[in-house]
């Protein structure tokens, strides 16, 4: 260990990092440094001898987050910790124990659940469309992570899916399970169920797992499902060395089975639990946090975020547009002005509720010659031009180098298509150019003395950990995809009834989830936040979101957002929607 892991932590972060023995619950608001606290806590435990790295399991929800955790631990001098997703940890255990228990290799994992459901549908004489097949897949996942049998599912979800009635849905699910068993395959949910079943039924498996792992940390605990929580209980056994970290205000996956009650009721489950609240925000300005706090005030488990920085910042704005096209054009024009004024495109994001909102934005940005990347598309290291460039760099690394490291990287990238000036914004050519340019920037940022071989090794490690470089483009992302990320400048669009909250959110619980989505969007902004909505026309006419009214005029500055355009009587409703706190 090269330095004190607790160095640089604030008082609350230090308190959490020093709490080495569980049960510990860290309520960590957006931007409060939870990943830093998790990794420093583990490093402090190793440094003091309280933990053996090989006995620590740190669980999170995405491979990218697990990779970041491993990278931070390596930087702190800690290796050997098992930092994985629930599924990766469970799959490793299933593959290890299955041959001993069953005498053969574990079943393979389905690579396409929707395709197998389609095959199962053929077997029972059903022909649902692709959208229905996807919905059935989602229902199967929900049924399993909430630990329901098919019969229990039928009782709890009697409405059917699309044109399929509940009896047909049940028949299709049974056919899917039968086909899967015949092919000796498992889906991702089966991995968790199988791992839990092994530990529960086989004492020797339980003993081996509990001997291997003594200390558990679970990130994003508000997103744990009943099945994941059950598996965690089985991993723990009768021990209590558990640290959970989460934020109830960022629970946005209830529709997939996530249950924030495990976080909110942690101190009831473990009556002697130590609870630490992290509310000092290191990401956003006070003006942005005022919007976030207004949005969540009075909600269960909500934290009151306080800005660490004290500098003045612009009050977030809210604007109204006639329709989605003019909204996209207005946002694109604002972004173009910011970029011409020196803003880095990588520091700008446009966030929205639905993927369908991205198409008009891409078009509007292209007209302003602004390149954009849609988050959730093809992964950076999966792009063919990136693979080609890395192969070329790898080949160059085994040949005698006559020029310097950076000059060699630049020459190799030019040989595969990098030019001094980018092509026009929009399209595959610009995307390819941006990807190659991102590789060059990584080389430019490499430590002095880096060799070409070390650089290509680092690229391969990045690809494995999904540690992708930022291309010099504006980011477009759904609110779900944006969780865990941050940008200096955020445009939150489509904040109208029917979009945010989405039209099918009709219950209090569903609307509250939409509120948390809006909160996630707001708290992605570090310096400036611009909110907008469009009125639409005809059947698509919309009113401003109820969330705008609840935030209040003290936190959002109206930029013609609720003004009634001259001669536009059809918008009279919007004129009365001036910001102001509504009854809760």
- The annotation places the binding site at 28-35
Report the side by side order of strands in the sheet with 82-85. 82-85, 56-60, 215-218, 242-246, 24-28, 274-278
Q: Which of 129, 140, 132, 126 is nearest to 162 (CA)?
A: 132
Rg of the chain on CA atoms, in Å: 26
Please state, in angstroms and rounded to a whole number, the distance separating the CA atoms of residues 435 and 440: 9
Give the number of other Cβ atoms within 10 Å of residue 469's Cβ: 19
- Give the pair of three-digit tokens for residue 11: 């008082």
Q: Which residues pair with 216 in a beta bridge?
A: 57, 242
Contact 264, 303 (CB under 8 A): no
Residues in the chain: 584
Please state, in angstroms and rounded to a whole number, the distance separating the CA atoms of residues 7 and 153: 51
Residue list, annotated binding site for ATP: 28-35
Contact 471, 436 (CB under 8 A): no
Please state, in angstroms and rounded to a whole number, the distance separating the CA atoms of residues 229 and 248: 16
Residues 6+ apart with CB under 8 A from 584: 298, 550
The four Cα atoms 137, 139, 141, 144 give a dihedral, to 10 degrees, of -140
Contact 159, 111 (CB under 8 A): no
Q: At what angle do helices 86-102 and 226-236 cross, to 10 degrees?
A: 60
DSSP labels, 233-247: HHHHTT---EEEEE-
């Amino acid at each position: 260990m090269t330095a004190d892991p607790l160095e640089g932590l604030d008082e609350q972060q230090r308190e959490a990092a020093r709490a080495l023995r569980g049960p510990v619950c860290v309520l960590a608001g957006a931007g409060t440094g939870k990943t830093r606290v998790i990794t420093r806590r583990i490093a402090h435990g190793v440094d003091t001898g309280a933990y053996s790295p090989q006995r620590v399991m740190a669980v999170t929800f995405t491979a990218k987050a697990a990779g970041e955790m491993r990278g931070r631990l390596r930087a702190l001098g800690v290796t050997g910790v098992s930092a994985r997703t629930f599924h990766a940890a469970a799959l490793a255990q299933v593959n290890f124990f299955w041959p001993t228990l069953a005498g053969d290799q574990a079943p393979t994992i389905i690579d396409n659940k929707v395709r197998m459901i389609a095959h199962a549908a053929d077997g029972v004489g059903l022909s649902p469309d692709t959208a229905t097949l996807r919905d059935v897949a989602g229902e199967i996942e929900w049924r399993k992570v909430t630990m329901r049998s098919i019969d229990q599912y039928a009782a709890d979800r009697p409405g059917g899916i699309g044109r399929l009635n509940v009896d047909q849905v049940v028949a299709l699910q049974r056919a899917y399970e039968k086909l899967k068993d015949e092919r000796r395959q498992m889906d991702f949910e089966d991995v968790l169920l199988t791992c839990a079943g092994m530990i529960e039924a086989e004492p020797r498996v339980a003993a081996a797992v509990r001997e291997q792992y003594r200390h558990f940390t679970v990130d994003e605990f508000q997103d744990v499902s009943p099945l994941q929580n059950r598996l965690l209980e089985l991993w723990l056994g009768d021990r209590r060395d558990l640290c959970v970290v989460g934020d109830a205000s960022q629970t946005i996956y209830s529709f997939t089975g996530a249950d924030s009650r495990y976080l909110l009721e942690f101190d009831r489950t473990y009556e002697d639990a130590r609870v630490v609240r992290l509310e000092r925000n290191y990401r956003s300005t006070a003006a942005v946090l005022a919007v976030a706090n207004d949005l969540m005030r009075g909600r269960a488990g909500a934290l009151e975020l306080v800005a660490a920085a004290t500098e003045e910042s612009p009050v977030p704005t809210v604007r109204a547009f006639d329709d989605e096209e003019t909204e996209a054009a207005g946002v694109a024009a604002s972004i173009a002005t910011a970029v011409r004024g020196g803003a880095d495109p990588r520091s700008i994001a446009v966030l929205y509720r639905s993927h369908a909102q991205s198409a008009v934005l891409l078009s509007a940005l292209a007209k302003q010659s602004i390149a954009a990347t849609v988050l959730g598309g093809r992964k950076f290291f999966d792009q063919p031009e990136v693979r080609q460039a890395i192969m070329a760099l790898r080949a160059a690394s085994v040949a005698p180098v006559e020029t310097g490291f950076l000059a060699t990287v630049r020459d190799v990238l030019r040989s595969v298509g990098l030019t001094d000036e980018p092509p026009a914004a929009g399209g595959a050519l610009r995307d390819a150019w941006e990807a190659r340019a991102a590789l060059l920037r990584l080389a430019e940022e490499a430590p002095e003395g880096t060799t070409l071989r070390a650089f290509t090794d680092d690229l391969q490690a990045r690809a494995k950990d999904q540690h992708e470089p930022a291309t010099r483009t504006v980011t477009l992302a759904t609110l779900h995809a944006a969780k865990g990320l941050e940008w200096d400048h955020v445009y939150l669009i489509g904040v109208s009834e029917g979009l945010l909250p989405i039209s099918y959110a009709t219950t209090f619980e569903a609307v509250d989830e939409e509120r948390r989505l809006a909160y996630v969007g707001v708290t992605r902004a570090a310096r400036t936040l611009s909110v907008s909505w469009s009125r639409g026309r005809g059947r698509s006419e919309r009113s401003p979101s109820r969330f705008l009214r609840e935030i209040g005029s003290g936190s959002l500055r109206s930029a013609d957002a609720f003004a009634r355009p001259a001669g536009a009587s059809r918008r009279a409703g919007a004129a009365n929607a001036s910001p102001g706190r509504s009854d809760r």
